[in-house]
């Protein structure tokens, strides 16, 4: 997958990867451009609930082989989630 390759090279989760994870783990289709443009909107605006976000956290933990912060699953917006996850991944490098 392109998203995984990009993520592996940068060590961070991209908006594109988050959109792909939303589709893969929660069945929520969202355009990456729309997700980026509305990054400060709550996940509910994209029809993603807390269980869907928990699934995304679990998938990222498998991909990176490490636990993410507990507060990652409590993030309300895509920007907040990406900041939380990417700060954690960067700190673990």
Whole-Å CA distances, 43 to 4, 66, 91: 22, 24, 25
pLDDT at 54: 96
pLDDT at 91: 85
60 burial via Cβ count (<10 Å: 0-12, 13-18, 19+):
buried
- Contact (CB, 8 A) for 43 and 76: yes
CATH label of the domain that carries residue 20: 1.10.1200.10
Cβ partners under 8 Å of residue 69, min gap 6: 84, 88
Per-residue pLDDT averaged across 76-91, rounded? 95
User: At residue 74, does pLDDT exceed 50?
Assistant: yes
Half-sphere exposure of 65 (CA within 13 A, CB side): 3
Measured CA to CA, the distance from residue 31 to residue 86 in angstroms comes to 21
Per-residue pLDDT averaged across 60-88, rounded? 95
pLDDT at 92: 67
Domain carrying residue 37: 2-91
Domain count, the chain: 1
Alpha helices (H) in the chain, listed in sequence order: 2-10, 15-26, 32-37, 50-64, 78-91
């Amino acid at each position: 997958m392109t998203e995984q390759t990009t993520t592996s090279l940068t060590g961070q989760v991209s908006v594109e990867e988050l959109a792909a994870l939303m589709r893969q783990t929660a069945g929520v289709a969202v355009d990456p451009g729309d997700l980026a443009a509305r990054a400060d909107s709550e996940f509910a605006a994209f029809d993603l609930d807390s269980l869907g976000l928990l699934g995304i956290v679990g998938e990222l933990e498998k991909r990176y082989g490490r636990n993410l912060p507990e507060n990652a699953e409590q993030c309300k917006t895509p920007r907040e989630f990406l900041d939380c996850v990417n700060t954690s991944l960067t700190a673990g490098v």
